[in-house]
Each structure stands twice: as C-alpha cells, then as structure tokens.
Amino acid sequence: MELRIINPTEQMEALQQLLHQAGLSFPDTADTAHIWIGLTLGDRLIACAAIEPHEKDALLRSVAVAGEFRDKGYGNALVKAAVLLARLKKLHTLYLFTERATGFFSRNAFETIDRQQLPASIALSRQAVKDCGEQATAMKLTLSEDSPLILVLCTGNSCRSQMAHGYLAHFLGRHAAVYSAGIETHGVNPDAISIMLEDGLDISHHSSNLVTEYGHLNFELMLSVCDHAKEHCPWMPGDSLRLHRNFSDPSKATGSKEARHQAFTFTRNEIREYCRNLVQALGVSL
C-alpha cells in the first residue's frame, strides 16, 4: 500500500469509478481547489479522499474504497492520512457531511455537531448547501496544533531506518518531529553515515534506539522499512497511520568494497525517492 497525491485530470476515470461505487458524486472542482490523496496497490487506485480547504478549516470529502478492499482497514488508513495532511498544513478543524457513515467517522475521532455550529465558510459550501443537503449529518474533528510525530521502524535501527529518518527529517523540516527505532539496537552503521554524507546529509548524531523507548509517545505515522520489523514490532500506543515498504539491507552485501558501496548507494537512493514521494503525498512542498 502506498500513499500518493492524485492528479484528478490523470486519474479521472479511476476516481469517478471509486466514487460511483460508494454512491458519491464527483465534486465540482471549479468551486474550490481540492487536495486529492489516494492509496494504491501497484498502479491501481484502491481508495481516495479529498480535502477542500476553507481558510483555516477544511472539508473532508469523497472518502471511498474499492469494493473488494473494504473492511480491510484501508478506509481508516486513508482518513488518518487526510488528518495528518491537514495537520501538516496547519489547518484548525476538519468538517464533513455523511448520510451513512456516522459510525465509521466516529471511530476515527470525528464528533457529530449541529449545523448551527458550522463556520460560515463550511455552512455555505456547495457540499453543505447542494451536494449533501439537510439530511446529511455534520461532523468535525479539531486538529492538534502540536507538530505531528513520525516513527521509522527497522530491525536494528542501524541502516535503513536511519537513512529514512534522515531524509524525512530533511524533507519535512519544522513540519514534523521524526524518530527512528528498532526492535533491536545494532548501532548506527558507519557506512550508512558515509553514504548519507555523500548526498549532503549528516546523520552521525543519530542514535540507535529500541522502539519501546518511545512507548510514551503517540505517533501519527509509523513507517516500517523492513519486513522483519513489521512482523515483530511490539504494540505501540495511539492509533497511527501505518505504512510499510521493504528495502534491501545493504549491510548484508558481500564482496568488494565497491560492491558494498554500490549496495548502500542503491538502498539510499530508493529510500530517498520513497521519502520524497511520501512527503509530497502528505501535502508538503519540497
């Protein structure tokens, strides 16, 4: 599963099909700019949602999951991603209107409100006045003003998670606080430090930490970068968005110095590209 920003002009047919299956209409993008996000498996779009900004608030709308992928947690993941995107953009409150999914959104921390509580920009939006009408339930989620917390997880917190930590912290800057940890600690690999320096990033100040050291923190996003860590990570508090991408372990490369350097370079470049795409999918301009 991969999170992506969607260009509606390029994914129009897939978006319309998802929304049609969910009984939703495609929004009139001429009214307001929408930020579309989606979950993909390979090249297939399996879930989508849109954020419609209104000054410091926004509407969450067009949440849809392909039929065969429902009841598998993808809808929850998509809402968490939308909330994280809204927080990174420093929005104050997310509002939505729903006719059939009050329970689903309640489980994702949205609360039902009277329409009299809506700010004018939301109450007068096309969705409130025309698309949904008075029969739809209004809901809201007040967003935390604290910086989102992101955790990168690997087996030994030595190579892959350290590189992803470095790139995410670099790309996100002040927008979020990034940590990395392992289910074991192997120390920060000197070759990982060296290969990151070749790309202009210094991670020599990083430490190798156990994931249990961060049990008191509620992470909005947990990214596992190796299959072993994903399968054996202990329970963590909170209700974070969980993403996974397995990267090859360059520390296991054998052969000449050049071959090992090539392995580290390959993994670093893959991690850099993935982290750049993820940050852009979360609405942060690079």
- Tens digits of per-residue pLDDT, 77-99? 999 999 999 999 999 999 999 98
Distances (CA, A) of 143 to 78, 88, 94, 140, 270: 16, 10, 7, 9, 32
Across 61-89, average pLDDT? 93
pLDDT at 51: 93
Cβ neighbours of 203 (radius 10 Å): 21
Res. 33: pLDDT tops 80: no
Q: Are strands 177-182 and 149-154 parallel, antiparallel or unpaired?
A: parallel
Check residues 159 and 229 and name the one with the higher pLDDT. 159
Q: What angle do CA 62, 66, 69 make, to 5 degrees?
A: 125
Tokens 């392995």 correspond to what residue? 263
Both tokens assigned to 168: 């995410």
> How many angstroms separate the CA atoms of 225 and 249, rounded?
10
Domains of the chain with bracketed CATH: 2-142 (3.40.630.30), 149-281 (3.40.50.2300)
Which structure tokens are listed for 102?
């009050």
Rounded CA separation 178/150 (Å): 5
**From the centroid of its chain, how far is CA 215?**
20
Could you give the residue numbers annotated as active site?
154, 226, 233
Residue 43, pLDDT score: 84
pLDDT above 90 for 132 = no
Name which of 27, 67, 28 is nearest 47 in CA terms: 67
Least confident of 22-31, 44-53, 97-106, 209-218: 22-31
pLDDT in tens, 200-259: 999 999 999 999 999 899 999 999 999 887 776 665 656 789 899 999 999 999 999 999
The amino acid present at 285, given as its one-letter code, is S
- Nearest alpha carbon to residue 189 among 161, 169, 227: 161
Contacts of 255 (CB under 8 A, 6+ apart): none
Q: Name, in order, each residue with C-beta under 8 angstroms of 182's C-beta and a sequence gap of 6 or more.
A: 153, 154, 155, 156, 157, 158, 161, 208, 209, 210, 211, 229
